[in-house]
Amino acid sequence: MLTHGFKDDNDDYCSSCGGNGDLVCCDGCTRSFHFKCVDPPMNEGALPDEWFCNVCLSNRNPRREERNGCFGPLLDSLERKNPVAFHLPKEIRDYFENVKTGTEGEYEEGIPPKTK
């Protein structure tokens, strides 16, 4: 992204989950993503010469006609957004027993308690 004649650096964290590591950078904005956090996930070896996140892609190529049906507007909206990791609010994490999350509140699959 060009601003006042110089190129802005892309983020050094994943815009979806907030983590760092090997990231694919959007060529239309400063967002970066893990290869597994983009929708659909990418293989590191299959990186195209130019890649745009869902937001930039939908701004560059807007959908000409809306989808019909009760889920049409929802699907159109989801297509224009980038994936974001779900984080449970702290009050929910603390209230329920056996809810396992990471340090940032990201849901982690826990082992269910054994029944007798």
pLDDT at 106 over 90: no
* Predicted TM-score (pTM) of this structure: 0.62
Long-range contacts of range 21-29, CB-CB < 8 Å, 24 or more positions apart?
24/51, 25/51, 26/51, 26/52, 26/53, 26/56, 27/51, 27/52, 27/56, 28/1, 28/52, 28/53, 28/56, 28/57, 28/59, 28/60, 29/1, 29/53, 29/55, 29/56
Question: Which tens digit of pLDDT belongs to each residue from 60-70?
Answer: 887 777 778 88
pLDDT at 111: 64
pLDDT at 5: 44
Question: Which tens digit of pLDDT belongs to each residue from 5-52?
Answer: 445 688 999 998 888 899 999 999 999 999 999 888 888 888 889 999
Domains, the chain, in order of start with CATH, read: 2-95 (3.30.40.10)
| DSSP classification of residue 89 | -
